[in-house]
């Protein structure tokens, strides 16, 4: 697997996460790629939009679906800086994303691997490939710094 290729896409997600953090959001960025082409990119906007579903992953999936004119995102890859929560994991499964690369595990709300395992035991027909730890140090530094700033505020 060409990890340099994947790191480049993750770098785009990290830049979006930095923008989100600067705007007071939890610093999470996401991009959706198909056949080497960027379909969508988004950053968390929960606070700005006052919308609990405005997670970077959901926003990027919605934009990719609009671009492709279908909610079924087979053949697409999602790059996201933080392990997806249960809501986002469900959207990833139901959107039929082929691969997910995330930067850092979320020990509090991350659920992607556990939701996929649950779906597998329930005989679900779609199981994306999942890879964690892509640009892990950069993603971890970003989220830890944001939480340090929140504690100081």
Q: What is the DSSP letter of 23?
A: T
Catalytic residue among 25, 57, 83, 119: 57
Max intra-chain CA distance, the chain: 47
Going by C-alpha positions, the residue among 125, 44, 59, 106 that lies closest to residue 114 is 106
Backbone angles phi, psi at 96, to 5 degrees: 65, 35
Cβ–Cβ under 8 Å, residues 7 and 134: yes
Tell me, yes or no, if 57 is annotated catalytic: yes
Per-residue pLDDT of 115-127, as tens digits, reads 666 555 555 566 7
At 75 the three-state DSSP class reads coil
Cβ–Cβ under 8 Å, residues 28 and 80: yes
Per-residue pLDDT of 30-73, as tens digits, reads 999 999 999 999 999 999 999 999 999 999 999 999 999 999 99
Is the pTM higher than 0.85? The answer reads yes
For the chain, give the number of residues: 153
C-alpha to C-alpha distance for 69 and 143, rounded to whole angstroms? 33
At 153 the three-state DSSP class reads coil
Which pLDDT value is given to residue 31? 98
């Amino acid at each position: 697997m060409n990890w340099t290729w994947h790191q480049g896409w993750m770098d785009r997600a990290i830049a979006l996460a930095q923008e989100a953090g600067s705007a007071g959001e939890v610093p999470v960025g996401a991009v959706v790629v198909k056949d080497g082409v960027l379909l969508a990119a988004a950053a968390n906007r929960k606070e700005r939009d006052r919308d609990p579903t405005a997670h970077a992953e959901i926003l990027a999936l919605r934009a990719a679906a609009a671009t492709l004119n279908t909610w079924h995102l087979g053949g697409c890859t999602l790059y996201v800086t933080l392990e997806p929560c249960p809501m986002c994991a469900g959207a990833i499964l139901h959107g039929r994303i082929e691969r997910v690369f995330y930067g850092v595990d979320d020990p509090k709300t991350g659920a992607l691997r556990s939701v996929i395992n649950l779906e597998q035991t329930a005989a679900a027909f779609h199981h994306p490939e999942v890879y964690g730890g892509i640009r892990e140090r950069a993603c971890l530094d970003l989220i830890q710094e944001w939480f340090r700033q929140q504690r100081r505020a």
